[in-house]
Amino acid sequence: MKKSDKKITIKDIAQRSGVSIGTVDRVIHNRGEVSSKTMKKVLRVTKVLNFQPDILASALASKKKVRLATLMPAVDNDSSFWKAPNLGIEKALKEIEHYGVTHSKYLFSISDRNSFIAEAEKVLSDNPDGLLIAPSLQNEALELAKICNAKKIPFVFFNSNISNQNQVCYVGQDSKQSGIVGAKLMDYGLSKGSEILVVSIFRFLKNNNHILNRKQGFLQYFESNKASRFKITSIEINSLDAGDIYKALRNIFNIHPKIKGIFVTNSRVFHVARFIEASNLRGINLIGYDLTDENIPYLEKGVINFLIDQKPVEQSYRAIIALFNKVVLKKNVPEEILLPIDIVIKENLKYYE
């Protein structure tokens, strides 16, 4: 709190070291052409005076341009989830544009692996100074990560993660824990002996740990806590076609007509809500993910009881800032930035939209 009043500048440290400010700049940025003797001297003074460079002045004087890029899914016509990250990216860019940061976006289709590969190639040929990746198609993203490492392009994963790829950082939710939260909410509201259904809907389920982990977390909660209270059934639907999904749900309800709780492992929960409405089912506890345009009306109507929000806007915002900190400010960035598992009901919805 009481720090010395006057801001100390490279001028001060130049004087105290008996060199010119140009030399000070060289040692601060470690760009060589300095004798080890003066190097040491300057570094010492730097420490002693606790010099903090003024990054505003630095940005002003520097003509350097930094090019960032983002590779993420396009909004598909099934779910609008991927609209939100754009807002976070834009917000972050606005804050850092004064630092000479530019940005390009590359969009792939979440149901088309080839589109991922094509866009990844474009990114690589543009050779950005830093890359933001949503690795929703895990196998393909893994390949990309390897190439980035080879080309020394620092990258941040956001929304979902792949462990140990030398990413600068992962920004997103702990997917398994979010499943546990879903389970707790289910447990809290369901009466003893009820039957529960877990629904996973994704084109390439085996290729997406994010969704699998949620299911695992959900199941684990009941295994460890109250194995006997509920009977749990799971289905996987490897299609985004509304007809296919409807058929699969109708089929499972024919077999298990007494299901009273449904947990959907991603934003496709609205399909289940539609099914419930169309089938005129009553008293079903429905929990899913994400405040998408498709889901929100069902939360408001009470067909969906809880939506778990992953803060998609903040994810991309924080991810860009993390990349900026690493690439531009050379700051240390934490390996993981885990965002809250927000529990959204009709009554607190408007503060998350």
Task: Name the site residues for a copy of itself (rule: CB under 8 A).
Answer: 54-57, 59-60, 98, 174, 177-178, 180-181, 184-185, 188-189, 191, 305, 338-343, 345-348, 351-352
283: exposed, middle or buried (Cβ count in 10 Å: 0-12, 13-18, 19+): exposed
284: exposed, middle or buried (Cβ count in 10 Å: 0-12, 13-18, 19+): middle
Complex with DNA: residue 22 or 297, whichever CB lies closer: 22
Residue 49 binding result from a copy of itself, DNA, none, given CB thresholds of 5 to 8 Å by partner type: none
Residue 340 binding result from DNA, a copy of itself, none, given CB thresholds of 5 to 8 Å by partner type: a copy of itself
Which own/partner contact pairs does 343-352 have at CB distance under 8 Å and 24+ positions apart? 343/181, 343/185, 343/306, 343/308, 343/309, 344/291, 344/299, 344/306, 344/307, 344/308, 344/309, 345/299, 345/305, 345/306, 346/299, 346/300, 346/302, 349/291, 349/296, 349/299, 349/300, 352/291, 352/309
Residue 184 binding result from a copy of itself, DNA, none, given CB thresholds of 5 to 8 Å by partner type: a copy of itself
Complex with a copy of itself: residue 20 or 191, whichever CB lies closer: 191
Complex with DNA: residue 49 or 349, whichever CB lies closer: 49
DSSP line for 169-187: EEEE--HHHHHHHHHHHHH
Strand partners, 72: 107
Complex with a copy of itself: residue 132 or 180, whichever CB lies closer: 180
Complex with DNA: residue 18 or 334, whichever CB lies closer: 18
Closest approach, Cβ 180 to a copy of itself, in A, equals 5
By CB under 7 A, is residue 124 in contact with DNA?
A: no
Residue 338 binding result from a copy of itself, DNA, none, given CB thresholds of 5 to 8 Å by partner type: a copy of itself
Residue 302 binding result from DNA, a copy of itself, none, given CB thresholds of 5 to 8 Å by partner type: none
Residue 192 binding result from DNA, a copy of itself, none, given CB thresholds of 5 to 8 Å by partner type: none
Closest approach, Cβ 39 to DNA, in A, equals 7
Going by their DSSP bridges, the two strands 285-289 and 259-264 should be labelled as parallel
Strand partners, 133: 71, 157
Q: Residue 294 region, left (φ>0) first, then alpha (ψ -120 to 50), else beta? A: alpha
Closest approach, Cβ 248 to a copy of itself, in A, equals 28
Complex with DNA: residue 20 or 279, whichever CB lies closer: 20
Distance CA 204, CA 14 (A): 60
Residue 243 binding result from DNA, a copy of itself, none, given CB thresholds of 5 to 8 Å by partner type: none
Closest approach, Cβ 270 to a copy of itself, in A, equals 21
Distance CA 208, CA 214 (A): 11
Closest approach, Cβ 267 to a copy of itself, in A, equals 19
Q: Among residue numbers 9 through 48, which ones bind DNA (CB under 7 A)?
A: 9-11, 18-23, 25-26, 28-29, 32-39
Residue 347 binding result from a copy of itself, DNA, none, given CB thresholds of 5 to 8 Å by partner type: a copy of itself
Closest approach, Cβ 128 to DNA, in A, equals 18
193: exposed, middle or buried (Cβ count in 10 Å: 0-12, 13-18, 19+): exposed
Closest approach, Cβ 182 to DNA, in A, equals 48
Q: Scan for tokens 């077999």, then name that residue.
A: 255
Q: Where are the beta strands (DSSP E) in the chain?
A: 66-73, 101-108, 130-133, 155-159, 169-172, 195-201, 231-237, 259-264, 285-289, 306-309, 336-338, 342-344
Q: Among residue numbers 57 through 86, which ones bind DNA (CB under 7 A)?
A: 57-58, 60-64
Catalog residues that contact DNA under the rule CB under 7 A.
7, 9-11, 18-23, 25-26, 28-29, 32-39, 53-54, 57-58, 60-64
